A and B are shown apart, each in its own frame.
Chain A
């Protein structure tokens, strides 16, 4: 069966700045595919091109066999988009928002009414349907934002960092709803910079950095790239000493990579237990206070660090 999404050598430039540099991948019908990368990696630009919002500088993108350049209307009928920002009318009620966006997806009459009711049930906001979106919490707005993308039952759903800036409970609800949608047969392209979300949701993951797809595969395929290395994750204070500790750790025998992100220091090594003591010694010497220590099995964070020499940044 042909992939529902085919991306071939996609390039998108803004003037002289290359935002996406020759990205290629496919998404098969029924899978959840995550584009994982730090902020500014090119995830939103990629999704904007795939969803026909931006024209590619070069390359080819096909959705359901239709080109996003020459057949954008056919593509738009197949896709749903949940943008990163909450793109709703605050002064309309949840019901009015869904009705309006349903009409923009060519729904009308009983079909529209039924779909709106179903979506309100799915996002668990039926009891608040007549309230203005302005009065909703951030999490509730996020749910309506997702609901709009589901109204016309798209074959392929693009979700661009849908959990940014919301509380853990709403985040959990959104992740569960993505899995539920996938169980119903919907294909999902999910972008995130949260490694945990990509790990939990994805059948396959594409890691993107500086506009390039630097890794692509299932989680097992990707973690194999870093071998059998563990990740030693230390929560420490921030400051110049932490950066010195990061550099010093690289000189400890057995350490493969080391990087800091905020107050987190991640060190990759084949046997994390063996480097723990020297790291603590270095931390004491540099007067860095360690709040917690965790040893993690190989994961996507380690993959990103291995491939880029940097931690996934928030």
Chain B
């Protein structure tokens, strides 16, 4: 046990003897997770922004703003005039609507009040805003006209006894007209895509999981490099003339690297939870088992590579290239559903695919240990096969 700990500790010191190792161990995975979480399409409000200054502050102006937003294609931000003008001039919004203080029902009916709508030149969104605002004005003024016509018709049949009775009748008619408008069937709906998206995709979860797997498997594949390095500098030969068994050396080296990978993954999972608000699912135990199986599979491949690779330079190059390729084709960088079906099927021979699928099953699809047992089984299969090859073909000389 003391030798096991000594070998592991030696490997830890060697790995972190250069401060730059922290770059690959933690900093770059975190940076890439954050960048890709934002860069691959975090949920955004796709509605066109209209800044509004409401000098009227009347029920009618509130109705107008509500009617504009009803279309679902425009979001109206009511701001003080100075702030709204600044936003518009900074091109933060393609349109700016000023509702004058004189906006009353009478003025609207008589067409005596002009709304001030300013649009950015040559901007299609501006045109759409103009049409939407006109529609909203027409809708609000229609209710007013209906109420006015109702009052006229009622007065023609039987004159009102007082102005208050007349006003009350007008209010009731207006409310009824507005209710009818609200209940009217929509003639137009806005959709953002022509086909429903079948991909379970959350950019933050996908990027965090993908980057975690990428940055963990590359150093594990690099176990081959540490074996080759020790063979090259003669420390492996020296080890084998001490009373230390070959198996203990191999086991300790592999275990040390797997433990370092587990620590790295724990830090990245923690970063996801506390900084990126990622929900890794409801079964932390299942996630831990899955990640351990992933680390073992990658370590197994690294051990097998160590039996064939001859120089540390080769080991480094092969680990980086194969690690990146496995990450890409395993769905760590882009959802696997974006790849052609042939690639999707071929990627089933990669541990990264099973690891990624397992993590997403836990984190996005809310599944538990039972659902990812096949993933864990396949990953352990990778580990067993490649460890067997690596140990059987391992060259001590």
Contact = CB atoms under 8 A, between A and B. Distances in A.
Contact of A106 (B237, B239, B243): B243
Given A48-B237, A86-B234, A87-B235, 18 more contacts: A53-B237, A53-B241, A53-B397, A73-B243, A76-B242, A83-B234, A87-B233, A88-B233, A90-B233, A91-B18, A101-B242, A104-B3, A104-B6, A104-B239, A104-B243, A104-B244, A105-B242, A106-B3
19 contacts: A51-B241, A53-B237, A53-B241, A73-B245, A76-B242, A76-B243, A83-B234, A83-B238, A85-B233, A87-B233, A87-B237, A89-B10, A90-B233, A92-B17, A96-B10, A101-B242, A104-B244, A105-B242, A108-B2
A250 B239 CA distance: 50
Interface of B: 2-3, 6, 10, 13-14, 17-18, 233-235, 237-245, 397
Interface of A: 48, 51-54, 73, 76-77, 79, 81, 83, 85-92, 96, 100-101, 103-106, 108, 132, 148
Contact of B234 (A85, A92, A96, A108): A85
A93 to B, nearest CB: 9
Contacts of B10: 89, 92, 96, 100
B39 to A, nearest CB: 36
Nearest to B233: A87
Contacts of B13: 91-92, 96
A86, A90, A104 pick with most chain B CB within 10 angstroms? A104
A105 B2 contact: no
Contacts of B234: 83, 85-87
Contacts of B397: 53-54
A83 B236 CA distance: 11
Contacts of A77: 243
Contacts of B240: 52-53
Contacts of A51: 241
A52, A85, A89, A105 pick with most chain B CB within 10 angstroms? A89
Contact of A81 (B2, B17, B238): B238
Nearest to B243: A76
Contacts of A132: 17
Contact of B6 (A83, A91, A100): A100
Nearest to B234: A87
Contacts of B3: 103-104, 106
A211 B245 CA distance: 29
B233 A104 contact: no
A20 to B, nearest CB: 15
Contacts of A108: 2
B17 A91 contact: yes
Given A53-B237, A81-B238, A103-B6, A91 B243 contact: no
Nearest to A78: B243
B6 A52 contact: no
A92 B240 CA distance: 20
A88 B235 contact: yes
Nearest to B240: A53
B377 to A, nearest CB: 37
A87 B13 CA distance: 17
Nearest to A109: B2
A46 to B, nearest CB: 14
A220 B244 CA distance: 41
A176 to B, nearest CB: 24
Q: Which 4 A-B pairs have the closest CB atoms?
A: A87-B234, A91-B17, A103-B6, A87-B238
Contacts of B18: 91
A79 B241 contact: yes
A89 B13 CA distance: 10
A89 B14 contact: yes
Contact of A103 (B2, B237, B238): B2
A157 to B, nearest CB: 12
A15 to B, nearest CB: 13
Nearest to A100: B10
Contacts of B245: 73
B241 A81 contact: yes
A51 B2 CA distance: 23
A76 B240 CA distance: 9
A53 B10 CA distance: 22
Given A89-B10, A103-B2, A103-B3, A52 B238 contact: no
Contacts of A79: 241
Nearest to A47: B241
B238 A148 contact: yes
A89 B2 CA distance: 19
A89 B242 contact: no
Nearest to B5: A103
B18 to A, nearest CB: 8
